[in-house]
Amino acid sequence: MNPLLTAALLLAGLGLFVYSVVTRLRPLLALRREDRRDRAGERVGGLLRFGFGQKRLVDPEELTAGILHVVLFAAFLVLALRTVTLFGVGFSAGFHLPLLGPGTALGRGYDAVKDVVVWAALAAALGFLWRRLVTKPARVTASWEGTLVVGFIIVLMVTEILFEHAAWLGLSAGATAALEQGSFWLHLVVILLFLNFLPIGKHFHVITALPNVFFRRLPPEARLSKLDLESEGARFGTATVKDLSWKEGWDVYSCTECGRCQTHCPTYVTGKPLSHKEVNKAVRKHLGQVGPTLVELAAATDPAAREAIAAKLPPITEVVAPETAWACTTCGWCETACPVFIENIPRLIDIRRQAVQVDSVFPDEAARIFKGIETQGNPWGIGSNKRAEWCEDLAIPRAADGGDYEYLFFVGCAGAFDDRQKKVSRAIVQILREAKVTFAILGEEETCTGDAARRLGNEYLFQMQATALTETLNGHGVKKILVQCPHCLNTLKNELPDFGGHYQVVHHAELIARLVADGRLTPGKAEGLAGTAVTYHDPCYLARWNGVVEAPRAVLAAAGVTPVEMPRSGRQGFCCGAGGGRMWLEEHLGTRINQNRVNEAAETLGAPGGVVATACPFCLTMVKDGINETGREETMRAMDLAEIVALGLPRRAAPPA
């Protein structure tokens, strides 16, 4: 022991650490305020499950790396007590924590667990070193920083073992004592070096990750924030880094650069200029560069002074290129894969919002979509008076008629205007009538939910649509809504509550599965599909964002179809490329996302091909186009689940046209 040396090490090490952390975090005080203290019980539960429980890390696709990380995390939790003890020993040789003395049962038990944990952590660290230097997974950033941190961990474990068990080496008493002493002091020094290295680079996540999990965006995660566009000093998007929220700043500090966000990201996989990991790195670096300006901004109280200081900040487009923000399909893979719940998509949408609503810089195709929605209530710009032509011969009741019905069938723009999707709408009608489900439609009163407008950055247009639609639905006393489009599902269920619209919203895959389970619908085997291979494509806004994974498969099973699963399915499903408003934008960079997906489907189906089933109008269009673009129209076709079920129903209801 050496109390003076121990005290000096602690004062210097901890003092420098506190200074570094405060310096790193102070710029966040200038960022936008955002309250993340609601629903405390859910937050604590998530922290225990995903933070301390590391649930997202133990993923079947990344099992080895996940287990190694869990072992290291658990080791540091267990060894935290040991670290305190060792610094205590530096002051007094016999120091031990209460209840953990060498003569107590608890102390002996802790020592036994600690020894196992140390060896496990050493093995895990060596495993990570092997991955970094030998196997080099593509998703992992090659960096000296990562290797150095693994080296720190190895040294800490080795010095702990030598301090405790140097006698195992069979050296002389003097050599053993010297080795123990050297290991002890090296251990303490490396702990403090490691601690002070954390705030410098990406390993700051060791400090910020658990709070980031606690302050995560709670369900429904796919809900975007509602901007107050009418208030004085309203925010219309992200112009500079100061418009980010403190949580978005905390997010980039929490990025581990593990690359899990890239594995199934449709933009990254197909060569688009978007890597969420790289965006996080760029924003984090920028925060460091403009940190002094942000600190100055946070301290300023005079509005004129604040404006002058803020003017020094470069536009966010110098940090995140416009083509990067526009590439995102908002499929959600990055956010559901991230172990620490980094929120990538809202940040990109806010960059789009600024571009559209303030700078008026956006793709030409988006302008046509905005005009179509604003003037005709649909992205195609087809006359709104034609919205109900798809069912002129079906005598479907209108909500305005005032009769009793179980569900309002919200047909959606694609279901009403797209010739291919009209067949799906009619198949759904056939199913509902066969199951004796009473329903009505809005007819010409229906209008676009505005999902594409919102995710393309036109928040103002979205709010106009959402307000008008909510007034219509509430005016008819609607309680339960059936949709065929996952994007409509997400908006009606998760985003309209911000506008006073509270409904029970169900997707047709969910309702059909429920009708079958309740015995209200008993479809036969899908006519014409006997012996045909079928695979199922999970729509992102259905499976990933809204958790509907099993119902579509139950629907196929009810129709006598057992789908062959693609490698990327369920939560890992690969996007068709249409989300985030990308349905309406040309795909100029990299390879086409829908073709990537169709190629996977073709490999899954094998010769001579078969059916790609899905449950989304956009996915149906993109898959169908991908089949044609790759020259497979003679061997493959795309179908909606409702069409497959309708093939096994009697023709007495309302057959698809």
Average the pLDDT over 483-497 and give the result: 98
Tell me the pLDDT tens digit for each residue of 335-359. 999 999 999 999 999 999 999 999 9
Q: In the structure, what pLDDT confidence band is assigned to residue 657 with cuts at 50, 70 and 90?
A: low
Confidence at residue 201, expressed as pLDDT on a 0 to 100 scale = 87
pLDDT at 579: 97
Please report the pLDDT score of residue 656 as a whole number: 53
pLDDT in tens, 428-437: 999 999 999 9
- Yes or no: say if 328 and 430 are a contact pair by the CB < 8 Å rule: no
Query: In the prediction, which pLDDT does 141 show?
Result: 81
Please tell me the predicted confidence (pLDDT) of residue 193.
Answer: 97
Of residues 167 and 267, which shows the higher confidence score?
267
The C-alpha atoms of residue 83 and residue 388 are separated, in whole angstroms, by 71
Q: What is the pLDDT of residue 139?
A: 87
Percent of the chain whose predicted confidence (pLDDT) is above 90: 94
pLDDT at 143: 85
CA distance 315 to 324: 15
Using CA atoms, how far apart are residues 465 and 449, in angstroms rounded to an integer? Answer: 6
Would you call the peptide bond into 608 cis, given omega within 30 degrees of 0 as the criterion?
yes
CA distance 326 to 228: 23
The separation between CA 138 and the C-alpha centre of its own chain, rounded to angstroms, equals 20
Three-state DSSP class for residue 416: helix
Phi-psi region of 377 (alpha: psi -120 to 50; beta: other; left: phi over 0): left
**In contact, 90 and 2? CB cutoff 8 Å:** yes
Name the nearest CA neighbour of 463 among 234, 241, 174, 628.
234
pLDDT tens digits, one per residue of 614-626: 999 999 999 999 9
Of 596, 549, 554, the closest CA to residue 569 belongs to 549
Question: What is the tens place of the pLDDT at every residue in 534-570?
Answer: 999 999 999 999 999 999 999 999 999 999 999 999 9
pLDDT exceeds 70 at position 651: no
> What are the DSSP calls for 256-313, one per residue?
----GGGTT-HHHHTT-S--HHHHHHHHHHHHHHTHHHHHHHHH--SHHHHHHHHTTS
CA angle 401–405–408, rounded 5-degree value: 85
Kindly indicate the confidence band of residue 653, based on its pLDDT and cuts at 50, 70 and 90: very low
Whether the per-residue pLDDT at 328 is higher than 50: the answer is yes
Q: Give which of 473, 496, 466, 481 is closest to 410, Cα–Cα.
A: 481
The mean pLDDT of 468-478, rounded to a whole number, is 98
Phi-psi region of 165 (alpha: psi -120 to 50; beta: other; left: phi over 0): alpha
For the stretch 7-62, pLDDT in tens is 999 999 999 999 999 999 999 999 999 999 999 999 999 999 999 999 999 888 88
Distance CA 139, CA 147 (A): 15
Residue 119 dihedral angles phi and psi, to the nearest 5°: -65, -40
User: What pLDDT is stored for residue 88 in this prediction?
Assistant: 96
pLDDT reading at 612 higher than 70: yes
The alpha carbon of residue 621 and the mean position of all alpha carbons in its chain are separated, in whole angstroms, by 24
How do residues 351-392 score in pLDDT, each as one tens digit? Answer: 999 999 999 999 999 999 999 999 999 999 999 999 999 999
**Percent of all residues in the chain with a pLDDT value above 70, rounded to a whole number:** 99
**Could you tell me which of 312, 319, 314, 198 has the C-alpha nearest to residue 248?**
319
- Across the chain, mean pLDDT equals 96
Element (H, E) at 610: strand 610-614
Would you call 440 helix, strand, or coil by DSSP?
strand
